[in-house]
Amino acid sequence: MEPLLIPLIDNLPSTVPFVGPEALERKRGRPFKARLGANESGFGPAPSVIAAMRDQAGEAWKYADPENFELKQALSKHLGVKPANVVVGEGVDTLLGLAVRQYVREGTPVVTSLGAYPTFNFHVAGFGGRLVTVPYREDREDLQALLAAVKREGAPLVYLSNPDNPMGTWWDAAEIEHFIDALPETTMLILDEAYGETAPTDALPPIHVGRSNVLRMRTFSKAYGLAGMRCGYAIGADRPILAFDKIRNHFGMNRLTQIAALAALADQEYLRNAVGRIIAGRERIAGIAADNGLHAIPSATNFVTIDCGRDGPYALAVLNGLIENDVFVRKPMAPVLDRCIRVSVGLRDELDFFEQQLPQALARVK
C-alpha cells in the first residue's frame, strides 16, 4: 500500500526534455572537450557581474527579496514599461509552467509548432492539456498554420518563439505584429524571445503592454551569460502579469541571482561585446559547415543549425560521432527538422576542436 498519484501524473511517461551534458559525461566516463550543445554562453557573464556576486556572496544566507523589487524597477526602466508589467521568475522554463497553469486544464487545446521548444510541451502535458502541433515550413514556424490551428481548435493558448529554437530562424517584427493582430482576443500568445538580444533589430516588435493577450518572455541565460543562475522575466499587461503573483514561488529566486541580473542589465557595453562575439561565432560555424559540404541555416540565435543533407538517422549518426569524439552538440528530433544538428557558439578553442572533429564524424558515417 502506498499513496496513489492522480491518474494524470501516474500516466505521464518518465522522460525528460533534455539529457544534460553532465549525464553524458558520467555515462562516458570523461568530460567533453567542447561544450557546444546547450545554447549557453561560453563567454560567461561580464566581469562587473562576477565582481558584484563576489562582493555580495557573504549575504547568501539571506532570503532574496520576494518582490524582486530592485530588479523589476531596473527592468521596467530598461524596457520602458511599468514595474507592474514585469514578472521575474526562475528562468523562462518556470514562467512557461506558470503560464500554462493559468490557462490550461485537462483537455484544453494548446497550439505550438511540431519540434518547437519541448519544455513547453512538458508543461502542457503535466497540466493535462491537449497539444495541437503544426509543422514548420521552410525551417520557420508557420505563422498562418499556427493561426489556423488556434481558430479551428478554439485554443486559449499558443506558443511561438522568435527567434526560434531549435532552428535559429526568425520572422521580422511586422510579421509578428500581423500574427498578433489576427489572434482571437481570447487566445493568449506566449512569445518566447529568449534569443532576442542576438537577433536583428527588426525582429522584435515594439513593446505594447496594452494587449492583454500577449506575454513576452526573455532571459538572462543566453547573451548575458547567466544560464546557471536561472533568471527570466515576462512582460505583459497589468492583469495577466498580476496573475503570476497568485501562484509563483515568491522565494524561488536566490539572492545572488538577483544581484547578478541587476549587474548584467547595467553593463550594456559588455552585452554588445558578447553579441558581437556571438555573431562572429555563428559565421565561424557556418564556415566550418560549408568547408565540409554542409549547409548552415541562417541564425539569429547563439547557435547554428546545420543541415546534414540527408535524413534523421544520418544526422543522429553524425551527432553521435561528435559526442564520441568529445564534442557535445544536440539536434532537432521532429520529422524534417531531424536532418540537422545544432551547434552552439563557443570559445575559439572549442570551435577549433569542433572544426577538427566534424570531418572525422562525417567520414565515419560515410
- Report the alpha-carbon distance of residue 166 to residue 335 in Å, rounded: 13
Give pLDDT tens digits for 48-76.
Answer: 999 999 999 999 999 999 999 999 999 99
Residue 346 scores a pLDDT above 90: yes
pTM summary value = 0.96
In a domain, 5, yes or no: no
If asked whether residues 232 and 361 sit together in one domain, one would say no
In this structure, is residue 245 part of a structural domain? yes
Is residue 66 domain-resident? Answer: yes
Q: Domain for residue 311, yes or no? A: yes
Cell digits of residue 116: 518547437
Domain boundary among 244, 266, 288: 266
pLDDT tens readout for residues 246-271:
999 999 999 999 999 999 999 999 99
Among 231, 246, 266, residue at a domain's last position: 266
Residue 347 covered by a domain: yes
Q: What is the CATH number of the domain that holds 288?
A: 3.90.1150.10
Contact 35, 21 (CB under 8 A): yes
- Among 226, 243, 266, identify where a domain stops: 266
Cβ 271 vs Cβ 224: under 8 Å:
yes
Domain containing residue 155: CATH number: 3.40.640.10
b/e 172-196 (16+ beta carbons within 10 angstroms → b):
ebeebeebbeebeeebbbbbbbbbb
> Is 208 in the same domain as 103?
yes
Task: Kindly state the cell numbers that stand for 202.
Answer: 527588426
Regarding whether 236 and 278 lie in a shared domain, the answer is no
Give residue 261's pLDDT.
Answer: 98
Residue 87: pLDDT band (50, 70, 90) is: very high
Q: Would the pLDDT of 362 be above 80? A: yes
Mean of the pLDDT values across residues 222-250?
97
Cβ contact 88:72 at 8 Å: yes
Give the Cα separation of 115 and 164 in Å (integer).
Answer: 10
Domain of residue 291 covers: 17-44+269-365
Q: Are residues 245 and 153 in the same domain?
A: yes
On whether both 156 and 121 belong to a single domain, the answer is yes
**Do 121 and 250 lie in a common domain?**
yes
Q: Is the pLDDT of residue 16 over 80?
A: no
User: Both 90 and 231 in a single domain?
Assistant: yes
| Whether residue 273 is found in the same domain as residue 258 | no
In SS3 terms, the chain reads as: CCCCCCHHHHCCCCCCCCCCHHHHHHHHCCCCCEECCCCCCCCCCCHHHHHHHHHHHHHCCCCCCCCCHHHHHHHHHHHCCCHHHEEEECHHHHHHHHHHHHHCCCCCEEEEECCCCHHHHHHHHHCCCEEEEECCECCECCHHHHHHHHHHHCCCEEEEECCCCCCCCCCCHHHHHHHHHHCCCCCEEEEECCCHHHCCHHHCCCCCCCCCCEEEEEECCCCCCCHHHCCEEEECCHHHHHHHHHHCCCCCCCHHHHHHHHHHHHCHHHHHHHHHHHHHHHHHHHHHHHHCCCEEECCCCCEEEEECCCCHHHHHHHHHHHHHCCEECECCCCCCHHHEEEEECCCHHHHHHHHHHHHHHHHHHC
pLDDT classification of 298: cutoffs 50, 70, 90:
very high
Q: Determine the angle formed by the axes of helices 268-291 and 47-56, rounding to 10 degrees.
A: 130
* Same structural domain, 162 and 280: no
Q: Which residues contact 264 (CB under 8 A, 6 or more apart)?
A: 45, 46, 49, 220, 224, 225, 226, 270, 271
How many other CB atoms are found less than 10 A from the CB of residue 25?
A: 15
pLDDT confidence of 174, banded at 50, 70, 90?
A: very high
Please state the rounded mean pLDDT for residues 96-123: 97
- Measured CA to CA, the distance from residue 284 to residue 163 in angstroms comes to 20
Q: Mean pLDDT, the chain, as a whole number?
A: 97
- CA atoms 252, 256, 257, 261: torsion sign: positive
More confident residue, 17 or 323: 323
205 and 80 in one domain? yes
Tell me the pLDDT band of 17, cut-offs 50, 70 and 90: confident
At 168, is the pLDDT very low, low, confident or very high (cuts 50, 70, 90)?
very high
